[in-house]
Amino acid sequence: MSQRWVYGFHELDEATEAVGGEWDDVRGLLGGKGANLGDMTRLGVAVPPGFTITSEACNAYLEAGEKFPDGLNDQVSSELRQIEEMTGKTFGDPTNPLLVSCRSGAKFSMPGMMDTVLNIGMNDEVVKGMIEVFDDTHFVLDSYRRLIQMFATVVMGVREEPFEDALADARQKRGVVSDSDLTSEDLELIVQRFKGLVERFAGREFPSDPTEQLTMAVEAVFRSWNGKRAFAYRNAAGIAHDLGTAVNVQTMVFGNMGADSATGVCVSRSATTGEPRLEGDFLMNAQGEDVVAGTRQTSTIDDLAREMPALHAELKNYADALERRYRDMQDIEFTIEHGKLWLLQTRDGKRTAQAAVRIAVDLVSDGIINKTEALTRVTPEQIEFFLHPQFDAAAKNEAKSDGRLLTTGLNVSPGAAVGIVALDADLAEKWAEERQEPVILVRPETKPDDVHGMLPAAGVLTSSGGRTSHAALVARQFGKPAVVGAAEIMIDMSAKEFVVNGETVHQGEWISIDGTTGEVFSGQIATKVPDIEDPWLMGLLAWADEARELDVWANADYPDDAKRAVTLGANGIGLCRTEHMFFDPARLPVVQDMIMATDRVSRRDALDKLLPLQRGDFADLFRAMDGKPVVIRLLDPPLHEFLPDHGELTTKVTDLKIRLTSAKDLEMVDDLLREIEEAERLLQRVEALHEANPMLGLRGVRLAIVFPELPAMQIRAIFQAVAEVQAEGVEAKPEIMIPLTGNIAELQPMKDLADELAAEYVEHHGVPVEYKFGTMIETPRAALTATELAEIAEFFSFGTNDLTQMTLGISRDDAEKNFLLEYLQRGVLETNPFDTLDAGGVGKLVDMAVSDAKAVRPDIKVGICGEHGGDPASIALVSRMGLNYVSCSPLRVPVARLAAAQAALASQEEAAAE
Amino acid sequence: MSQRWVYGFHELDEATEAVGGEWDDVRGLLGGKGANLGDMTRLGVAVPPGFTITSEACNAYLEAGEKFPDGLNDQVSSELRQIEEMTGKTFGDPTNPLLVSCRSGAKFSMPGMMDTVLNIGMNDEVVKGMIEVFDDTHFVLDSYRRLIQMFATVVMGVREEPFEDALADARQKRGVVSDSDLTSEDLELIVQRFKGLVERFAGREFPSDPTEQLTMAVEAVFRSWNGKRAFAYRNAAGIAHDLGTAVNVQTMVFGNMGADSATGVCVSRSATTGEPRLEGDFLMNAQGEDVVAGTRQTSTIDDLAREMPALHAELKNYADALERRYRDMQDIEFTIEHGKLWLLQTRDGKRTAQAAVRIAVDLVSDGIINKTEALTRVTPEQIEFFLHPQFDAAAKNEAKSDGRLLTTGLNVSPGAAVGIVALDADLAEKWAEERQEPVILVRPETKPDDVHGMLPAAGVLTSSGGRTSHAALVARQFGKPAVVGAAEIMIDMSAKEFVVNGETVHQGEWISIDGTTGEVFSGQIATKVPDIEDPWLMGLLAWADEARELDVWANADYPDDAKRAVTLGANGIGLCRTEHMFFDPARLPVVQDMIMATDRVSRRDALDKLLPLQRGDFADLFRAMDGKPVVIRLLDPPLHEFLPDHGELTTKVTDLKIRLTSAKDLEMVDDLLREIEEAERLLQRVEALHEANPMLGLRGVRLAIVFPELPAMQIRAIFQAVAEVQAEGVEAKPEIMIPLTGNIAELQPMKDLADELAAEYVEHHGVPVEYKFGTMIETPRAALTATELAEIAEFFSFGTNDLTQMTLGISRDDAEKNFLLEYLQRGVLETNPFDTLDAGGVGKLVDMAVSDAKAVRPDIKVGICGEHGGDPASIALVSRMGLNYVSCSPLRVPVARLAAAQAALASQEEAAAE
């Protein structure tokens, strides 16, 4: 007996047994689609009967030099007979014909594989019989011409154009715009012309034998496995070439058979909000493609509930069953043929970020999945949705209904943006400033020269370029919503306008772009910031907190940020940048006095003025974080950052001197001379502080070593703030962090200073001050000497921004302007190392340092602060390295909480697998 | 029987047996000096007889609460008797008195230990007897007053001043300036006064019993072991506190006993040149201290040869014997008493760098040491001597004889400098430029504000500060000769002069300073550059080449440098910086054209012009290095370095615009407008190329990736140069080196490019081009990903300058101006990491990278280039890590050759010890 090559959808159990019981092997044998159709059938869902030709048959066919293996023809015939029995129809019988579709279906879905051929089984005779039986000449002839057209193009390899030309010709003659308005006479002629086209372009007649049609279609699917595009795709996606594809042959059902027929699509829960109710569209008396084509006004599933309540209830039952079976929200295609509901396909539905969160949480409430699974159903990137303004869903739907959707491009940088169109960067910059209106920069593509116009823009839209184009990279970098590669947009610079799908948008007119979906609309659409306190999100994040191993802290410099961070779930402040407190306009003059001081006494005077202000800053932070740790980094940036810019000062001096030449009265001369002297004194100091590479200059602990009164003031302020808030019953947990350490000999004097001031505290207050002492790890040398640093540091915080700059030798500001984007575009780098931690270099250093430090001080706390702390891929990386916490900006805390949970789950899974 | 506490110098064998035979233990027991005196005695050298009281006796004395151990007194008496027998003199016998000296002598020489007491054994009776016997009242009384003075101050703890006052008083009364001009009557009075001073200040009489004198002196030595300074010194130097000190008691001999007596010092070989002949000075009829005091005109050893040839021959014999015994050039103290030559002390002699080299080589020729030992007798720092100008030895001696030696300070930065005195930095800068005369900056100390005056100065002299003072660090950094801490110099800024030892030097007058010795002279002294091709140096370096494991290559950009490097022993060029060829004034305009090019075509045009020039550069290098490898680094610096400075351009534009406002005729206006346009175009490009941190910016391989036509031009030029010189029979060994690599994805396209151009070469020439492909390791990431890079790199060259900047996060230029010197001064850093490779950080990275790379590619060649390549400590470090070569500036090649040899020998020694 020959091998079994064919399984009916109703014979899934036999197929399962044949491969030994594993579902994955079933999918290998029957393909994803075939296995699914079988599974739905077994579930009792009304799936049009059919059968699957196995992928093994495909391989056998290809191996034998494109020859059907023994027994295949017989088995197909036998299965056809069974379907005929089930449906009461007969393949090729004009009086009661069985029509079938034929589709490819490999284990993994794959572009480049053969598409669908519908209506197999029709020929002139069958058409005649059907016209009699169905009493709908137009439908039958239309189905026939569709078969010929699809068969010719998909199976016989004829080009599409001559068929389309013929249709256009007929429409023109008849004076109509839609194919559906052609008369039956027209269609009869078209069928004749199509047959002629087949003969002319394929070199043979359209096969009238239904069995030959089916055989040819199956062979076409088999051969398409080795098609050029499918082959290249498998190479790129790493799919084995010897899997083969299965073929699904399925009874045709028709939604266009009158008022009791319909076709539609629906999702089991709202794809927009996640609400648990059927949502979708259908068309009465129509075929599937009509729904997709959008040429007729569809009805909603709610209409179906009103018009065909029983069928709606049946659909809802099926949807529930399928959800439970596939354990996710389902996207279902259905057809109603003469009042009978058939399900053609189901798959996991696409959804918005908001819906993804609610669905994951609701599926747990419904007992369909558990919390752990729910955590993997939402990506950290989807949490980001809640951070960006979005279009109001109703307003956006309205815009769509109003036909204001201009085109859709690539969704490369999420968020919604509304603004007036500027077609060049200079204008974008100018308008953003002068008109005080948001601007959308619209360009064919962007270049480094355009960045000055991208930064002030609300959003960016380009007509060319892909996901790694300059525009995409820059926009993501700076968090600007962007749509790129919207190829339908034709920009006419001379006319100062662009044309898209026949519509013209002039420079200065409003458009709205959705970087989350890639949609481009004319006019303004209302936006709103999503509710970050969405109850489903809060619920999901609470589960994330149970699952994660990493602590999530926030970078916050002000009490308001700190409060916000706590609301968003931060367990502490991982980085308080004290310099931000120095930039306060009210304090800056005092800070400048300190810098301009030429001796210790006047420097100390200025610091004495700053001390109570810093104490107040810290006290407020402790109050906001009551009981949670607050890591305070001592002053880090180079001093020149607190002084005016060199260029500004030079210009000022020049201006003053020019005014001096035209000054007429002596008082004015005196004033000017005084001003000049003052400005020149400042200038001199700025010049003295000038550094060729400030990144690698006098900052961080180096400042503290050179001006020890500076850290002394800050540490005193911290300790005094502790005393202040403790009196109010607030629990302060300060952690003093030294920046830019590279040498134990730098850290030790800071530790000694802290000890000394802590001793002062005991003397004054009679009780010790509780604090931790630690260091940032920002220089490669710090990481390399972790063993030594851990001797006195109770915690490490990897400042991965600077550590990346130094380890890679890349100055971030310069590089993003220069070569970094080019590196990403050329694929020299896969990800921007300032977005995602460079595992091979920086990650290796971090890993070494953590191991070394823990060997010396097993209870040392290690974390990262800086932007990587909010990046999911980086969080996964550091979670694997055994870090204790990440610290990120307050808004990204929810993203980090989920990413940390997923990282922990992935590790557990890995551990379990071993 | 009690323990043996005393050994005569002639009883060394017994002492050796007592400790079990090890010389080191003998030195422990008898102290270094005692062991040596014994050893000389055994060698047959005429050492005045004496004995050593062991360090064990010292310990026993201290442990017992400052009480002599049992038997010590008896043993001392017994040894004294033996000496009396040997000398025929008797201790305390007025008719034929034995006088002795008493000195401390611990295992390690140590400041703070008790000094010498001479003439022990004299008292009033003995004096009387001696006057009769010696018939020299003056000498005897002078010896007596010396004993009382030394005994009082050294043993009894009386201050020096009252004794000096008494002497001064006597000189004044007699109207003489020198003690030797006092009459015997004066001396008799002085002895009486001295005795009175002892009674008054020590509270007891000067002991007249010789035995009591000796006992007290021995006890004083014992007690000085626990003196405050000795204790602190042992703590600092890590010497154990329980070693104790020995005491040496030795017969006095007198060089001041008439015309047949003399005293002197000599070295067995010239300390200046190393020439193998006795050199030294002596005084007839004098005591040792007279030679040192310099109050009388000494005679040279050559005079001795003329005047006492037999004694000179005896001295020469002893010197030869001692050299063979101690296997080094000896510095000998001798005394002739009544025609009998006695040797009082011998030790390894100090010598100049030049002498050190010659002596080491000659000792090998003389069969005294072997080549390996010779290599350890010269420090790499001494090789540096040959790199700096030095004072002409004769001219310097003459200056000394003329009394022009003003003072001696700390020799902190080697080399000789002659210049006019400038007392402030501004003036130093001004005079150096305006007067075109060399300037010596003389300051109390220097600060960062003075650097602008130090750089143009020929040398630096300060009156305060130590080896890590700002002046010392900056001077060493920039290779300026410097003497610091010359405390005798009193600077009077208001009088514009300084006073030193009574002499006044005005601002603008000439002085000469020797940074190698610390000497400061008035007036000018002729300088000369030492002969780097000194035959002894060449010989020593040839042995170094046999011993070393590291290859020594040179950094050279021009053929002349390359030739010089080969002469100095370089085996290859480890770094040819091609950018230096670009800076050639004739080419710079073409280079600028290339940079200003806005499209590929005009950029390629400029590159096409550069190609033949580069080909010529490389061909010349290959010719100079015929058969030796030449590592060519592709263009490295940021492009803006080839354009005019931003400030200059701004000033130019401003000037042109000002001129425009006053331009009167149209032609001039047109010209100015053109110039302005051109300058603004340049300015725009300079601004576009501006980077916040150019060190971490668009340079190295990044340039090559962004402008691939640049490396293509350079590699083509290399290959064409190979073809050009091969036709002449020259063997070219090019190695293409990619700068600033941080990622395998950067290196791969460069490798592909080289392969492609090599394939072009084969096509054109029919034979393959031989070359190596490698990369610099300058970013920490490159070191961290050595495993990947070594997959395609055939060699690594660690660019330790940049690697240090990035690993430590320190911009060299900025840091040396700012905090680095302060770090060195405060001891936060022990050495400047840009001078000596930072072992804990950078060294760790290098070590990891070397191991990783060798695991992947065992035959990979790894080296360092940059300034560390010429630094002995860094060479020792990388030699231990198994690097293959160092590459340094041509002049430092000899230094590196010796340092490499010493590193190899140290490793072998370590390995042998294990």
A686-701 pLDDT tens trace? 888 888 888 899 999 9
CB atoms closer than 10 angstroms to residue B855: 12
Report in angstroms the alpha-carbon separations of B172 from B160, B163, B176.
19, 14, 6
Q: What pLDDT does residue B315 have?
A: 96
Is B461 strand, coil or helix?
Answer: strand
CB A278 within 8 A of CB A315: yes
Q: How would residue B294 be classed by pLDDT, with cut points 50, 70 and 90?
A: low
Q: How would residue B72 be classed by pLDDT, with cut points 50, 70 and 90?
A: very high
| Edge-to-edge strands, sheet with B410-413 | B405-408, B519-522, B510-514, B416-422, B439-443, B459-462, B482-484, B410-413
Judging by beta carbons within 10 Å of its beta carbon (0-12, 13-18, 19+), is residue B434 exposed, middle or buried?
A: exposed
Residue A89 CA to residue A92 CA, distance in Å, equals 9
Residue in the block written with tokens 């083509």: B716
User: Which positions 693-722 of B are in contact with A (Cβ < 8 Å)?
Assistant: 693-698, 702, 705-706
Q: Which stretch of DSSP H or E encloses residue B324? A: helix B309-326
Is A383 strand, coil or helix?
Answer: helix
Residue B83 CA to residue A869 CA, distance in Å, equals 85
Of B696, B809, B814, the CB nearest to A811: B696
User: Which of B907, B898, B889, B909 shows the shortest CA–CA distance to B357?
Assistant: B898
Q: What pLDDT does residue B472 have?
A: 83
DSSP B45-68: --PPPEEEE-HHHHHHHHHTTS-P
Of A691, A743, A809, the CB nearest to B740: A809
pLDDT at B375 over 90: yes
User: Which positions 860-889 of A are in contact with B (Cβ < 8 Å)?
Assistant: none
**For residue A806, what is the nearest residue in chain B, using CA coordinates?**
B806
Interchain CB distance below 8 Å, B781 and A809: yes
Beta strand A510-514 with A416-422 is antiparallel
Instruction: Give me the residues paired with residue A348 across strands.
Output: A330
Which residue type sits at A4?
R
Interchain CB distance below 8 Å, B706 and A818: yes
Interchain CB distance below 8 Å, B815 and A696: yes
User: Which positions 796-815 of A are in contact with B (Cβ < 8 Å)?
Assistant: 802, 805-811, 813-815
Q: How would residue B89 be classed by pLDDT, with cut points 50, 70 and 90?
A: very high
Instruction: Give me the residues paired with residue A264 across strands.
Output: A282, A334
CB B576 within 8 A of CB B909: no
Give the angle subtended at the CA of A282 by the CAs of A279 and A286, to the nearest 5°: 165
pLDDT at B454 over 60: yes
**Residues of A recognised as catalytic:** 470, 865
Summarised one tens digit per residue, pLDDT across range B12-57 is 999 999 999 999 999 999 999 999 899 999 999 999 999 999 999 9
Read off the pLDDT of each residue in B130-153 and give the average, rounded to a whole number.
Answer: 89
Q: Is A825 on the interface with B (CB under 8 A)?
A: no
Q: Is B588 left (phi over 0), alpha (psi -120 to 50) or beta?
A: alpha
Interchain CB distance below 8 Å, A819 and B695: no
Interchain CB distance below 8 Å, A692 and B822: no
User: Which positions 669-698 of A are in contact with B (Cβ < 8 Å)?
Assistant: 691-698
The answer for residues whose C-beta is within 8 angstroms of residue B654's C-beta and 6 or more apart is: none
Report the gap between the CA of A458 and the closest CA in chain B (Å): 25
Neighboring chain B residues of A826 at a CB cutoff of 8 Å: 705
CB atoms closer than 10 angstroms to residue B674: 11
Q: What pLDDT does residue A269 have?
A: 96
pLDDT at B651 over 90: no
Q: What pLDDT does residue A1 have?
A: 57
Residues in chain B: 914
CB atoms closer than 10 angstroms to residue B589: 11
For chain B, give the mean pLDDT: 91
Neighboring chain A residues of B826 at a CB cutoff of 8 Å: 705
Q: Is B818 on the interface with A (CB under 8 A)?
A: yes
pLDDT at B251 over 80: yes
Report in angstroms the alpha-carbon separations of A249 from A6, A63, B7, B905.
10, 22, 116, 83
For chain A, give the mean pLDDT: 91
Q: Is B451 on the interface with A (CB under 8 A)?
A: no
Q: How would residue B477 be classed by pLDDT, with cut points 50, 70 and 90?
A: low
Give the torsion sign (CA, A685, A687, A688, A691): positive
User: Which of A565, A702, A711, A718 shows the shortest CA–CA distance to A628?
Assistant: A565
- pTM comes to 0.82
Q: What pLDDT does residue B293 have?
A: 57
The least confident of A730-739, B120-129, B191-200, B682-691 is B682-691
Give the angle subtended at the CA of A195 by the CAs of A192 and A196, to the nearest 5°: 90
Residue in the block written with tokens 């940032």: A776
DSSP letter at A328 equals S
CB B255 within 8 A of CB B335: yes
Q: What pLDDT does residue B178 have?
A: 78
Neighboring chain A residues of B788 at a CB cutoff of 8 Å: 840
Residue A126 CA to residue A252 CA, distance in Å, equals 14
The answer for residues whose C-beta is within 8 angstroms of residue B456's C-beta and 6 or more apart is: B428, B429, B432, B433, B439
Which residue type sits at A209?
D
Which ranges of chain A have pLDDT less than 70? 1, 288-296, 468, 477, 817
CB atoms closer than 10 angstroms to residue A402: 11
B353-368 burial: b if 16+ Cβ within 10 Å, else e: bbbbbbbbbbbbeeeb
Task: Say what percent of chain B tops pLDDT 90.
Answer: 66
CB B319 within 8 A of CB B238: no
Backbone phi, psi, residue B588, to 5°: -50, -40
Q: What pLDDT does residue B290 have?
A: 65
Interchain CB distance below 8 Å, A781 and B840: yes
Interchain CB distance below 8 Å, A842 and B781: yes
Summarised one tens digit per residue, pLDDT across range B815-830 is 876 788 789 878 899 8
